[in-house]
Structure 1
Amino acid sequence: MSKLPHIGTSIFTVMSQMANEHQAINLSQGFPNFPVDERLTAITAKLAYENVHQYTPMAGHSGLLDKITRLTLASYNRNLNPVTDMVVTAGATEAIFATIQALVNKNEEVIILDPSYDCYEAPILLSNALPVRVALNDDYTPNWEAIATRMNAKTRMLIINNPHNPTGKIWSEADFIQLEKLLDLYPDVILLSDEVYEYITYEQPHISVNTRIKLRDKSVIISSFGKSLHITGWKIGYAIAPEYLMREIKKVHQFLVFSVNSLSQVAISEYLDIVDFNEIATMYRQKRDYFRELMAKTPFELLPCEGSYFQVASYASFSKQNDIDFSKELITRYGVATIPISTFYADGKDLKLVRFCFAKDNNTLEQATLRLQKVAF
């Protein structure tokens, strides 16, 4: 008997497979296709000949933990203890899985704000707990009235994602004030803050839970070097939490992977001495602006993109197809793969929206938008 009977192959895998079958340009799955920084590859090549190929300590390579401590202080003015307050994980997905498995118990409830990334629900179900899906407003701001209505004595955790995947929305100061007021009413609720796109933001500044004194002592904050440094295949992330929560997370982490790829940890540790996250944000802002300029020649209507490397677009003005069929036809007829937004909702809410990934080289973006200019349904 399946423990996850209603969970099948993810929409990201489905669309990427279809893209391969039809030789479509893949703007669906969220991975860059441009080269990694040559300084990072040089560091990695050098380290390949050094003694960095055995297990690191379970919680992470000490040098990388120290660098994360410095990065968090520089970015958010938060002082951390690298021994007690963090763990390096096999990507953000493992950090999320370990956190939920460690901290959520049978019959407890976890609130997920839809549209939501698909890795949240499975570890909740595997904990024999109940995922409670609450829709964001149609502009992707939090619906505080709806969230408050679903909070109760069984609520163990609230998951937020900022900057938001799939929409690129960034939470405001007012949102965090509302969140703090709500959690004051439920002091035992743990906040899981998925911030993997924290360094890919544009006009709106990213507000991290690391900066919220009222929240951080009850929060687990998830980050991703894979996203921040466009090395998604390295699968290196980390979690930050107060010691009483981190102690439990590490117990699960050690039996999932024990420790994370040693060469990658040491390479990132050295790279953090020279990389400028502001330059990365500038690079992605230029890609966003260029993609939006190219998309202006297509029939799609673009929604705001405040962070992440995703652009949501509406096709409601020229097609009434549901977004899954529309996305499949976009691959088969026009040769461009995207992700339908309804798949991020528990109820399949269809607003005639699709998500494009613009973390691609300029030639890929140009060729894709030339095809999209021909779209006519």
Structure 2
Amino acid sequence: MDAEVLVIGAGVSGLACASRLAGAGVRAVVVEARPRIGGRVRTFRPADGGPSLELGAQVVHGDRNPARSLVGTETAPRPAAARVVSGRVGRPMGTLARTPHPPWLLEARLNAEGAPAGVSVNGWLRENGGPYPVASEWFRQTWAADPERLSARGVAAAQRDDTAGRGEFVVCGGFDLLPRRLARGLEVHTGRPVRALDWSPGRVRAHTPAGTLEAERVVVTVPPAVVARGALAIEDLPGDKRRAAADLVPGDGCCVVATMSVPAPETASVFDADGASGFVSCREGRPEVLVVAKDAAAACVRAATGPGLSALLAVALPWTARARVTGTEVADWGADPWSGGAFTAPRLGAEDAPARWAEPVARTLFFAGEATAAGTRPPWVQSAIASGTETAGRILEAMGR
């Protein structure tokens, strides 16, 4: 055997799982398709040594988030200027605070009151005096999902049951320090995609371009969409697992760092309520502009990457109309074959899919990742860590350790 436990995927969940197993004396080997670790964590560092920017996971949510015990964090800075774009016109974010139904207050109300089963977020907004298009886009960008298909009950439950605490924090030196810390002391093989997996109770064989790896057990931490479309083929996968994988569709996501020919005159954060660019931000004195777009906005940003990017940025940040785009760094999560999207939100009609996906098979196949938490916890880094460590606990129990 090459390992006692083979972990497929070197994202935060897979590394957290392998770390706990290794700490218990289990020989765990991690294989990763990409040439790097981190999964949907990706940090951009300017060539001149300027502040890093995040093209994947953005912030650490909560003062009790387990990530904070692993890396140094500091409170996420507040931008000097916060704006919202509506009708292609930028206004101070405070104008939303003066409206009868600011999106963040509607979000807090939903989280506190919950919602009945079978109601979408847009349906809940309509039942509470909506449609509230600005709030609808707010939910879309927060959850990377169409609010007509996003479960209001799942959103409320995930937020209510989250134990990470309050506040938002940034990782000092870049978010990719988190997977690096988790990977310390582990045997990790990057650039080694598992194309097919066959198994029998107590034995698995993972087929990669570099050869076959054998182990007693396996943990699949890649997004279910990777399995659903056959990029990772699992032989004799039970039907309920296949249906769960098909149901757990991640939302589209596309992030871009655009380097401009002149530096930003201010530190600003812009929410595009028109749905064309998601969240756009810049820092005073720096030439980089960060675009974080999800769902329909991701498609707009993807289509604009190139000659149309300047026009897209100019709506959110008018100062960029006087500058040229001199370089771009793109993280197109929707087009990434090993992600299939940003993350997995609770979907109407698929509320039980996360639990079905998380269930082990024959004490041999185990599953982890943020998708297992959809509708019970937020699909962010704290849930990825929890899923990995909890799955490791299940494996140790199965091994009698």
Give me the TM-score of the superposition, normalised by structure 1. Answer: 0.26
More strand by share: 2
Q: What's the TM-score once normalised by structure 2's chain length? A: 0.25
Structure ranking higher in helix proportion: 1
